[in-house]
Structures are given as structure tokens and as C-alpha cells.
Structure 1
């Protein structure tokens, strides 16, 4: 166990793997930081007033969280999604959970827009032909006038909608609350309407949080409802999609293609069929990670830590019933 700063309280446990957040020294004398690995986490949680989940890919928090007795009063996750830390004991323990909403909105929107353009313009085939020294002339698709359905209308979904609109797509949304007039989506439909909307979209983009309602929402029936020429993009959470059903749909050519940046198991195992399934672009959970993103995460946490130490309202407070930060 490694400590930073002096013995002053409160104590903030920091779950990390290979790197540690910057800027902690600025809080010397006001907080004590205890840097812990997954193995050290259970013991640290019993003595910590707050927990920073810097290693946001870790799934160690639910198993380590104390069922009874002392536990942190505040948990901050250095990611937009908080499904990896939520568990019954934490939800019921009067804990405040915050996330890093706002850091990834524009980078992920840029990544999704890049994927849509790359798939429409056949870039994977172009690169494959170049590697084979094969002159493969063909015509490509235009994105102007095509339709996109963005599932998840939080800040990331909204940034995606604005950027896809800017390159000419017609965008509608699916979210928790139905709205007939929306600044970014035009129309937002409720989640129950999703099956009936899939057949109208050229691109279906998943930007929803992982909840009981959204888990497995893109299954064989949903994929069968999509257009044969449609494409699926998932930058939300891996379990939003039933992997075996997607593999079957792509192998049979029932949809034109897909791009996944998130998976049920990460890193993606070498023997996963997703590596070789036709029409699929695989990226290693990097859609929001631009140069300097760790500094942005650290700055957001530092601002919230200042607020917490001053007993002021925190940014990005998660509704533990919903599993995400409500908008509006």
C-alpha cells in the first residue's frame, strides 16, 4: 500500500492499475490519499472516507464493498459509465456516486462520425485492397440524407447527434423520456418504441448506459428488424448487444456491417469470433481517449474533491436507481 500526502483526514482511497492521477499533491494537508490495487481494496474501503475509481475498467468494487460496517461516503468514477461499481450494498448504503460525464462527449462523437464515414466510404475494403496491392475500383455511399438512430440521449448521445447532423445525416433519438421537439434530435422516442424504429435507420448508434432495461436490447429480434443495408455502432457498453446474435447476423449478411468499441469481456480474447466476423470493425475501448484525456479526468475529480472538502454540491451525481446522471 502506497500513501501520498500526510496523515490528515479525510482519507481518499485511489484504485489504480498502471498509472495514478495527477494533481493530488495540491490537496496536501486537506486529504490523505491511499493508492491501492485490487487486492488491497477490501481493507482500504473500511478506512476510507471517499473512493476514486481511477482504474475504471476494474470490476473489483462490488466484491470488495463492505456489506456492513464503515465504508466510503463518496465514490467518484473516472469514466462515464458506473455499472462496474454499483452493487446492492453500495446502492443501499447512503453513498454518493459521481462520474466523469463531460470529458468524453466530443471525442466519442468524433469517433462515431469517423466510423460512419469510414463504413459509408468503404475504408476497410480500401485498406485491405492496398495491403494486397489490388486495384479495386468501386462506388461508395453518401451519408447525406441517410438516417441515424441514436439510442441514449445523454450528453454523449447529444454530441453524437449534433456531429452526425453536421455531416448531413437525419438523426432521431431513443431515451428515457419521450419528447416531440428536441434541440439535438428533433424527436426523442421512449425506449419501448425502439423495436419499431430500427427498420427506419441506416445507422443505429448505441450510447446508452448499461441498465436492466438496456442489457441485451440488440438481440436477434432487434437485428432482424434492422434494414439489410443498415450498420450498428456500439460505443456504450458491451452487454447492450447479444454478441452471438450479432455474429450470426453479420455472418449471414442480414445487416451490412457493425463497429464495436466495447465488449462483454475486455480485453477481447484472441479466440473471440468477433476478430474475424465479416463486416465488423473492432477497436479496443478507445473511442473517448484522446491525447490528454487523463489530465481532463484528473481535473474533473480535483474540482469535485474541492467541492466535497468544502461541503458543496458535487458535479455529476448519479441517480443510483437509474444508474446514470439524469439530464434536464
Structure 2
């Protein structure tokens, strides 16, 4: 929709077929000269002259292929927390600013992690399976209070998880880039480098739950492989609410089958949707979620609100929120 000011920036909304809710809030924004909606196939034609790109197609890599036509682009906003799909060399090395939607998903994801912890401790998923077969099987469950959790990733999502698990009575430690003590949410943070003495490898040996909440970067891709999984207790469970490729799926399947670890709660996978052929569907120790840990009623409206808030800030010449450090692949702070 064109406004009275032709010098205002043009916006492209990259979508996968589903448009943002209440799109009139975007279409009628007085600070935009034009709003173009494009699918991945249409992006190359839509980008020329556009200064802003809203990536509403959450996991697309279409911008990589269309980058040669993005000569006017100044700002890319991702309607996600993870921006690994945007961290290709052309964009990383350019002057184009990238922001994400930090602040939308932290609480819901933390609630999902707590739900998975409770499900494992109280065998809720096992009870559901027994109910379906009309089987009355008494057994003892585990306490949550006093158990230990290692949260890998000390950003806002990891911190929300730490606070939620601490409130439930777990003792929480973090693993991140910078080891430290006295952290307000984790207490102790160990190095996430598996080769570092006293780091994540040693900490896993004490954890009842290992929660993956780190961004997907070169340093975290394949982090949880057979060697790191072998450092976990045989009674421990792995929970991944970050990105699938952080965990080597083949190694995880083997660890579950061999009893190296006791269970896995998985919201993300190497390939999504999870293929029908994946053994994870049928492993009784695995809980499979369809990448929904952060998606609660109203989340898409909140994503639009975050984008419009940053758009207004940009048009006023203010620093945008959630500015991504492209060298790291996530916002600082």
C-alpha cells in the first residue's frame, strides 16, 4: 500500500503462504511507501528497491538465493529467535542490520521444558500409553525437587528456563561461552566447549536433565554427539528446544537404544517435519513435539507487534531492539 511519502522505505514480507495476522497494521503503516508480499519463489522479483525485509517464513533460506537483487536492503527482521538460516556470507559481511524476535518465545519455551521434566519424572507419557491399552500398572515416580539440570545456552531463553526450573525445585547450572560464578540465574556457568577441562563434559556427569537452549552456530552444530552423550548419566534425559542440528540424531538414537541415557524430549530435529522413517517416532524413551515449544495462543500477533515496534524505532532514528551480532549469530546482551 503506497503512502503520501514516496521517499519512505519499501517493505517486503517474505512468507510461506500464511500472511501475518492483522496485516493491515503493516499495510497502513504511515512510515512505509509500499508493502510487497512475496513467497520464496517471488522474492527475487520483489526485493529490488526494498530497504526492509520481514522474514515471516520462519525457516526459509530464500534470501540466500535472492541476495543479488537486494542492493537497496538496509534491515532484515526475523520473526524468530534463531537466525541461523540468515547467516550466509553475503548478509553477514554486508552492512545490512539484522534483528530477531527475542522476547516472544522465552516464557512459553521455559514452560514446555518444565512440562517435559515433569512428564519424565512422573512418567505422564507412559501413563497415557498404558491408558490406551487399558492397562493398570502401578509404579513409583521420581521427585523433581532436588534434581539437577544443565542448561546449555545462557541467552534469554536459557535464562527463562533456568528460572522456571529453579522455581520448581531443581538445581540449575549453565553452560555458555564465558565460564563464571555468581550468575543471577545459573549460579555457575561452565564452558560449553566439550574439550575444556571442568566444562560441559564434566558438568553433564552430574546432571539429571541436559537442556539445549543455545543458538545454532559453527560452535554448537553437532555439539551433542556420541562422545558428549556418553558423558551423561544413564538415568539422565536430554531436552532440545533449540535447533535440531545441535544434536547428532543418529548418535542420539543409538544412545537411547543402548541405554546410554534414559530419555529425550525433542521439539526440534535435523529434518523437519520429522520423517516417517525416523526411529525417534517409536522409541518409548523419546517424546516428540512438532517444533511448537514457543508457540502459544497469540504468538503471531506478538511477532507482528515486535516488528512494528522496531520499525517505529528505526523510522525515529533510534537503535533497534534485538540487534543481531552477525559474527556470533545472535543478539548481544
Same structural fold, with TM-score higher than 0.5 when normalized by the shorter chain = yes
Change (3 A) 1:47 1:30: closer
Once the two structures are superposed, residues 218-244 of structure 1 have per-residue CA deviations (whole angstroms, 9 ceiling, x without a partner) of 000011110000000000000000000
Give the CA deviation at 1:125.
0.9
TM-superposed CA distance for 1:124, in Å, is 1.1
For the structure 1 residues 270 and 71, does the alpha-carbon distance in structure 2 shift closer, same or farther, using more than 3 Å as the test? farther
1:130-279 equivalence runs, <5 A: 130-192=131-193, 193-279=199-285
User: Is the Cα contact below 8 Å between 1:78 and 1:99 reproduced in 2?
Assistant: yes
The CA deviation at 1:97 is 0.2
- Tell me which residue corresponds to 1:305: 311
What CA RMSD, in Å, does the superposition of the two structures yield over aligned residues? 1.4
Q: For residue 43 of structure 1, what is the aligned residue in structure 2?
A: 45
Contact 1:5 1:29 in 2 (8 A): no
Residues 305 and 249 (structure 1), Cα distance of their counterparts in 2 relative to 1, 3 Å cut? same
Superposition deviation, residue 5 in structure 1: 4.1
Instruction: Give the total of aligned pairs.
Output: 323
Question: Could you say which residue in structure 2 is the equivalent of 1:12?
Answer: 11
What is the rounded CA distance, in whole Å, between the counterparts of 1:230 and 1:5 in structure 2? 57
Q: Indicate the residue corresponding to 1:62 in structure 2.
A: 64
Structure 2's unaligned 5+ residue stretches are: 194-198
Question: 1:285 & 1:5 partners in 2: Cα distance?
Answer: 36
Give the conservation status (yes or no) of the 8 Å contact 2:107–2:160: yes
Structure 1 residues 94-139: Cα deviation after superposition (integer angstroms, max 9, x where no partner): 1100000010010000000000001110011100000000001100
- Please say if residues 307 and 314 of structure 1, whose CA atoms lie closer than 8 Å, have aligned partners that are also in contact: yes
TM-score of the superposition, structure 2-length normalised? 0.94
How far 1:55 moved relative to its partner?
1.1
Say whether the 8 Å CA contact 1:250–1:278 is kept in structure 2: no
State whether structure 2 residue 35 is matched by structure 1 residue 33.
yes
For structure 1, list consecutive stretches of 5 or more residues without a partner in the other structure: none
State the match for 1:88 in structure 2. 89
Q: Secondary structure at the match of 1:172?
A: strand
Counterpart in 2 of 1:111? 112
